[in-house]
Amino acid sequence: MEQDLVRIEGLSKVYATRGGPVRALDQVSVNARRGEFLSILGPSGCGKSTLLMIAAGLLPASSGAVLVEGKAVNQPRTDVGIVFQSPVLLEWRTALGNVLLQTEARNIDRAAAERKGRALLAAVGLAGFENKYPHELSGGMRQRVSLCRALIHEPHQLLMDEPFGALDALTRDQLTLDLQRLWNERRMTVLFVTHSISEAVFLADRVVVMTPRPGRIDRIIDIELPRPRRLAVRDTPQFAEYSREIRNLFLASGVLREA
């Protein structure tokens, strides 16, 4: 790995609500190395999505800072790709039209962008579906289109907020493999928010385990599994040990409770 691309320093976020202030994040500090896949894992309400939105410049921090290549993030960023849990596609545009939306806003050459968009759709198994509209696509297909849209401008960083959480298990497995392959080819820095222990371990170089709200970092775990990873790695003792370590952290913090 090269030097840090993203530095998150003492990050806190407090929301004002009718019932009083709610602290979502509390003094979170973590760095993401250039080309690293970082999974952010924690229970609902621990501030994972808030952290991602601050890193994207879409939400201000209450205190602390996010720095990218040494520069503070204080406005919406245009140098990242973002994938949300919902695909957020425009219903009146085709799959290819949705992928090309960013290139139109950035005034990228149409012919070159279309070639790149078709290649991306083919890479995630959507060759032949370029002219289909969102209502003609399954949930997994729509999320593939969303991923392609986030990658069309070749960002150095990808922010992903529970992107596979609403999908069935088989589709989720396939998209996990697709994402790993695209990351292997491009080596962008990925911040990947998830609730799934298995998903976090399978994809990550490091897993950031967060506490219940207010979200703090409980532990950062290096995942030393060979790449590229096949689904069968989930049956290995080493994978099971990483999963057990994370599960024990959640048991200790009360996120998981056994009878």
Kindly state whether residue 18 falls inside one of the protein's structural domains: no
Residue range 132-137: mean pLDDT, rounded: 96
In this prediction, residue 1 carries a pLDDT of: 41
Which domain covers residue 193, as residue numbers?
34-59+75-252
pLDDT per position as a tens digit, 18-67: 889 999 999 999 999 999 999 999 998 899 999 999 999 999 999 999 99
Strands (E), the chain: 4-17, 20-33, 37-41, 63-68, 71-72, 80-83, 157-161, 189-194, 206-210, 217-222
Kindly state whether residue 257 falls inside one of the protein's structural domains: no
**What does the alpha-carbon distance between residue 141 and residue 126 come to, in Å, rounded to a whole number?**
7
CATH number, domain at 134? Answer: 3.40.50.300
Give yes or no for residue 2 having a pLDDT over 70: no
* Tokens found for residue 210: 């967060």
pLDDT band per the 50, 70, 90 thresholds, residue 115: very high
Give yes or no for residue 259 having a pLDDT over 80: no
Kindly state whether residue 65 falls inside one of the protein's structural domains: no
**What does the alpha-carbon distance between residue 246 and residue 38 come to, in Å, rounded to a whole number?**
15
Put simply, whether the predicted model's pTM sits higher than 0.75 gets the answer: yes
Domain count, the chain: 1
Kindly state whether residue 236 falls inside one of the protein's structural domains: yes
pLDDT per position as a tens digit, 165-209: 888 999 999 999 999 999 999 999 999 999 999 999 999 999 999
Kindly state whether residue 124 falls inside one of the protein's structural domains: yes
In this prediction, residue 105 carries a pLDDT of: 80
Kindly state whether residue 15 falls inside one of the protein's structural domains: no
Percentage of residues of the chain with pLDDT beyond 90 = 85
**What does the alpha-carbon distance between residue 43 and residue 212 come to, in Å, rounded to a whole number?**
6
Kindly state whether residue 99 falls inside one of the protein's structural domains: yes
